[in-house]
Amino acid sequence: MTTMEQRRNQNTVQQQDDEETQHGPFPVEQLQAAGMASVDGLKQLSLSLPFSDMIPRCTVSWKSLRNLSLIECKLGQESTDNILSGCPVLESLTLYACRSLERLDLRKSLSLRRLEIYHSHPGRELDPSGPVEIVAPHIHFLKLTVYADKQFTLTDVSSLTEAHLYIRINILLDSTAHCFQTLALELLAKLHNVESLTLGATLLRILSLAELRGDPFPTLKVQTLIIRTETEFAQSVPGIARLLQNSPGLKKLTVYMMHGYNIMSRNLDQYWGLKYKVFAPSNDSYSMLGCNVATSKVLAWFMELVLRNAKTLENMVVWLRSRYFDDAQWFEEQLQIVGTLSHNNNVSILLKRKNF
């Protein structure tokens, strides 16, 4: 059946010839009726099924498919195996808020190199919002966004070279965050061989509490580290320091900082203020908002902290993301300070601004 005939038979399917992409929504059993169960030349496919189960009543054969995205699908193991077996040259797989599939086994997907998984909010669905175990020995790229309400396991990601890891928690209290430290450290240990690693703000905060408790951290082989502290900068510092110390081959560091009420910790300073001296006490946190002098001290101190703990560092990029950094004169003064630090430590340091 030709592509034009498929479009006449299935009104919900649209094809963009330049990208060779098919769009849903439709459950698997409708693929055969639509003439899409076996399509030659199909390279990209995105299916969105927020209210439907994917039931394998037909054999899928997408022999040319390279990029597949499944959005809000209810996937069973049999359906997943059927789809994957019909995509022998699949290179990229994205699962966004896909329910019911608890174990994703990609050992037979020999061409798969890129995997992205996004869990939905745990209160949104009664069913699990995404796989909680991944077996993917062939992938090189992993982007993982999970909620810490459940245990998550990376059983085999032995070929991984680049990873982006984000943990989400509805409310993270300093008194209860230890419950998530095991998950965070186990995930980090599975990523110890990656060359490029990106970590989100909540994960950094959890790692900070693990550092304060004296939990052992894995040694990483990372060469490029990207940390997104956002508004939780102060609460991320202990974890960042330990990551730098445990990354003996680190060459490049990129930091995203955002000026906000949490630039100073209102809870953690009692634990780590003595070890990481620079920050004002919690009671003085709000007075530092909009204070260029105080922000300058924090910024300079943080860069010095990095330089002390990352002995092999060659490049550092610090992004300041907020309207609070719009003061041109203040920013020019920071550039001069950065230039001095860069010269004295033989490290290339770039300071950049980006507004929302």
**284-298 mean pLDDT:** 60
Q: In the prediction, which pLDDT does 168 show?
A: 81
Per-residue pLDDT averaged across 132-139, rounded? 93
Please give the pLDDT value at position 246: 97
Closest among 306, 291, 293, 305 to 334, alpha carbons compared: 293
Q: Which DSSP string do the residues of 50-114 spell out, in sequence order? A: TT-EE---S--B-TT--EEEEES-EE-HHHHHHHHHT-TT--EEEEES-BS--EEE-TT-TT--E
Q: CB-hemisphere CA count at 13 Å for 250?
A: 28
pLDDT of 171: 62
- The predicted-structure confidence for 243-262, as pLDDT tens digits, reads as follows 999 999 999 999 998 754 34
Is the pLDDT score of 277 beyond 70? Answer: no
Tell me if 163 sits within 8 A of 194, measured CB to CB.
yes
Separation in Å, CA 112 to CA 66, 85, 109, 141, 294: 9, 12, 6, 10, 48
And the tokens for 85? Answer: 């077996």
Confidence of residue 275 (pLDDT cuts 50, 70, 90): low
Is residue 10 pLDDT above 70, yes or no? no
Of the two residues 235 and 278, the one the predictor is more confident about is 235
Q: Can you tell me the mean pLDDT for 226-242?
A: 84
Domain limits of the chain?
1-160
pLDDT of residue 268: 45
The string of pLDDT tens digits covering residues 122-134 is 555 444 456 778 9
Query: Residue 289 corresponds to which amino acid?
Result: L
More confident residue, 345 or 202: 345
User: What digits encode the pLDDT tens for the residues 17-50?
Assistant: 333 344 444 444 555 444 455 566 789 988 887 7
Confidence category of residue 60, pLDDT binned at 50, 70, 90: confident
Three-state secondary structure call for residue 142: strand
Contact of 100 with 74, CB cutoff 8 Å: yes
Q: Which of 101-105, 287-291, 293-297, 307-311 has the highest mean pLDDT?
A: 307-311
Q: What is the pLDDT of the chain when averaged over all its residues?
A: 77
**309 contacts 343 by C-beta, under 8 angstroms:** no
Identify the pLDDT of residue 154: 93
Is the pLDDT assigned to residue 348 strictly greater than 70? yes
Phi, psi of 6 (to 5 degrees): -60, -40
